[in-house]
């Protein structure tokens, strides 16, 4: 018996001492120095956020602040977290609220005004209704990516069939049982696709979706399910050659001969823009503003495609080779006003769920 009473504390001690525990690894600084000046910037973001380590170091050296990244959940969870904690924000600056959620965040007063100097070509991405009339903007566009229908060109070539080109084509019996898309209720690209159809068909969108479902469209929970399991060019080699994905996806399906096996249908796209903003009530407003500027710097903008799979808003930045060659962006994406999205999201999703589960 004596053995065990010695053993247990010994094991516990050994676990802590050898670092097999997270105790003692947290940073215990309160975020201020001896004079009460902030020493760090806290960035609140979604789980897809990646900033290469050398760039993170660069920011810390230039600004003198320690950068703390708190990433979790998706864009929707992030927005709602910011709304729920607006009295006592989770950090100093937020990145990752997109144009489908931005209106809600603005209406709730989550962000403090900050007019960052935008790089060339970034003006077109500013959130409609934000700033203007001499008022400062609250949100700064950082990147964009369009959700588009993608097709497997090799599949259509092998089956001697023309691939579809428009949203109407997807409801054409010639393409029966070939399309797979993540659902709007559970997936952010799925929601973007629903918005694309709303932009295109107006109040008639439920009829379009009825036709789409009658034509054997398959719904999945998320993007990875649709692309990786059901799409013919995905990791799992599925059997559906039409999938909902991004305009950049063709840059990732390059065959041995150097051409891409897939392409995006540029008439079916809805553009998602991601924004950064200084949080109202931030402890370190100065550092937050510096970080927003840093995210617009040429180095970070150039790193966006490889680290986060999105296009920069700075049009002067050079894209990676495969992107320049195969990732074509839509020139006139389908659009829905952010205020309309905020006002109707509930109703649209409810009606969409009804139409698709009939």
Partner 1 sequence: MRRTLTLVGLAAVPLAVLGVFFVLPVAGMISEGFYDDGRLDVGAVLDVLTRPRTVRVVWFTVWSALAGTALSLLLGIPAAHLLHRRRFPGRAALRAVLLVPFVLPTVVVGVAFRELIGEAGPLGFLGFDGSAGAIIAGLAFFNVAVVIRAVGAAWESLDPRPAEAAAALGAGPAYVFRTVTLPALRPAIVSAASVVFLFCATAFGIVLTLGGLRYSSVETEIYLLTTNLLDLQAAAALSIVQLLAIVVLLAITSRLRAVPDPTVARSTARPPRIGRRDWPSIGATLLVAVLVGLPLAALVVGSLQVGDGWGLGNYRALTTEGSRQALLVPATSALVMSLRTAVDATWMSLSLGVLVAVVVSRRSHSRAERRARGLLDGLFMLPLGVSAVTLGFGFLITLDQPPLDLRENPLLVPIAQALVALPLVVRTLAPALGGIDDRQRQAAASLGAGPLRTFATVDLPVLWKPLLAAAGFAFAVSLGEFGATSFLAREENPTLPIVIFHLIGHPGAMNYGMALAASVVLAVTTAVVMLAVERLRVPSLGAL
For partner 1, the binding residues in 295-314 under the rule CB under 8 A are 306-307, 309
Q: Name the strand (E) or helix (H) holding 223.
A: helix 223-224
Cβ 239 to partner 1 shortest distance, Å: 4
Cβ 92 to partner 1 shortest distance, Å: 13
Distance CA 27, CA 180 (A): 45
Distance CA 217, CA 356 (A): 10
| Per CB under 8 A, 258 contacts partner 1 | no
Q: Note whether 193 and 272 are within 8 A (CB).
A: no
Q: Are strands 270-279 and 111-112 parallel, antiparallel or unpaired?
A: antiparallel
| Per CB under 8 A, 57 contacts partner 1 | no
Cβ 146 to partner 1 shortest distance, Å: 14
Cβ 356 to partner 1 shortest distance, Å: 7
Nearer to partner 1, 71 or 118 (CB): 71
Neighbour count for residue 106 (Cβ, 10 Å): 21
| Per CB under 8 A, 343 contacts partner 1 | no
- Classify residue 255 by its DSSP letter: -
| Per CB under 8 A, 224 contacts partner 1 | yes
Sign of the alpha-carbon torsion through 118, 124, 130, 131: positive
| Per CB under 8 A, 339 contacts partner 1 | no
Which residues in 14-43 contact partner 1 (CB under 8 A)? 15, 19-23, 25-26
Indicate which single residue of 103, 249, 263, 329 sits in contact with partner 1 (rule: CB under 8 A): 249
Q: How far is CA 118 from CA 125, 187, 301, in A?
A: 10, 30, 12
Which residues in 107-166 contact partner 1 (CB under 8 A)? none
| Per CB under 8 A, 261 contacts partner 1 | no
Indicate which single residue of 13, 32, 33, 52 sits in contact with partner 1 (rule: CB under 8 A): 52
Nearer to partner 1, 81 or 271 (CB): 81
Cβ 251 to partner 1 shortest distance, Å: 8
Per DSSP, the residues of 125-189 read: GSPTTSSBTTBPPS-EEEEEEEEEEEEEHHHHHHTT-PPP-SHHHHTSGGGTT-EEEE-TTT-HH
Stretch of 12-20, 140-148, 199-207, 273-281 lying at the interface with partner 1 (CB under 8 A): 12-20
Indicate which single residue of 238, 287, 333, 338 sits in contact with partner 1 (rule: CB under 8 A): 238
- Classify residue 241 by its DSSP letter: S
């Amino acid at each position: 018996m004596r053995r065990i009473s010695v053993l247990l504390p010994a094991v516990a001690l050994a676990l802590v001492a050898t670092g097999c525990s997270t105790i003692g690894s947290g940073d215990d600084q309160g975020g201020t120095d001896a004079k009460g000046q902030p020493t760090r910037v806290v960035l609140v973001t979604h789980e897809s956020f990646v900033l290469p380590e050398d760039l993170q170091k660069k920011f810390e050296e230039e600004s003198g602040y320690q950068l703390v990244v708190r990433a979790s959940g998706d864009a929707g969870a992030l927005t709602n977290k910011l709304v729920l904690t607006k009295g006592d924000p989770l950090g100093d600056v937020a990145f990752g609220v997109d144009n489908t959620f931005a209106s809600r965040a603005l209406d709730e007063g989550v962000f403090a005004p900050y007019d960052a100097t935008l790089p060339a070509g970034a003006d077109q991405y500013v959130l409609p209704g934000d700033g203007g009339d001499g008022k400062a903007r609250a949100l700064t566009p950082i990147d964009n990516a369009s959700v588009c229908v993608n097709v497997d060109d090799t599949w259509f070539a092998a089956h001697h069939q023309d691939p579809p080109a428009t949203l109407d084509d997807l409801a054409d019996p010639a393409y029966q049982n070939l399309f797979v898309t993540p659902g709007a209720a559970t997936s952010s690209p799925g929601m973007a696709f629903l918005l694309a159809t709303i932009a295109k068909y107006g109040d008639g969108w439920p009829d379009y979706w009825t036709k789409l479902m009658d034509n054997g469209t398959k719904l999945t929970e998320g993007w990875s399910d649709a692309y990786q399991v059901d799409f013919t060019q995905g990791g799992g080699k599925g059997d559906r050659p039409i999938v909902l994905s991004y305009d950049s996806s063709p840059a990732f399906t390059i065959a041995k001969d150097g051409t891409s096996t897939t392409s995006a249908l540029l008439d079916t796209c809805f553009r998602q823009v991601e924004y950064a903003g200084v949080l109202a009530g931030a402890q370190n407003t100065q550092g937050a503003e510096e970080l927003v500027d840093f995210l617009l710097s040429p180095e970070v903008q150039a790193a966006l495609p490889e680290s986060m799979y999105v296009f920069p808003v700075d049009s002067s930045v050079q894209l990676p080779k495969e992107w320049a060659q195969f990732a074509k962006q839509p020139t006139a994406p389908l659009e829905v006003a952010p205020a309309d999205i905020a006002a109707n999201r509930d109703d649209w999703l409810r009606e969409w769920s009804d139409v698709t589960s009939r």
